[in-house]
Amino acid sequence: MAKELNEDTGFRVSIKSLVGIGAAMATVISMWFVLQADIAEAKELPAPLPPDVTRMEFDMKDQLIRQTIMGTQKDVEEIKEDMKRIELKLDKLIEKRR
């Protein structure tokens, strides 16, 4: 039942299979060399430029924006209070004219 492998054991491989195996090996080997060339080229490239905006500058701008928003919020609250007073005065004037 079980076959024994020895010097006389043979197996058949078609030429089509051999060509396929050869093509696969050639593809893998060429990909390896291309990858090695890309790595060598990347090592020679200059270092990346520093970012345009540093972290400290970003934090300072963020803080300034937040302060501006809070100041605007206070101004809006004051304007709302002024509008309420103006509305009350208008209501009193309208009542007097009636």
> What is d(CA 21, CA 19) in angstroms, rounded to the nearest whole number?
5
Instruction: Please state, in angstroms and rounded to a whole number, the distance separating the CA atoms of residues 67 and 77.
Output: 15
Distance CA 72, CA 95 (A): 34
51 occurs within a structural domain? yes
Q: Is position 42 within any domain?
A: yes
The answer as to whether 39 is a domain residue is yes
Q: Judge whether 54 lies within some domain.
A: yes
Q: Which domain holds residue 69?
A: 15-97
With respect to residue 69, please indicate whether it lies within any of the assigned structural domains: yes
For position 71, what pLDDT does the model report? 93
Q: Return the percentage of the chain with pLDDT > 90, whole number.
A: 64
| Alpha helical stretches, state H, 14-54 | 15-44
Average pLDDT over residues 64-75: 94
| 1 falls within a domain | no
Query: Domain tally for the chain?
Result: 1
Residue 3 within any structural domain of the chain: no
pLDDT above 80 for 1: no
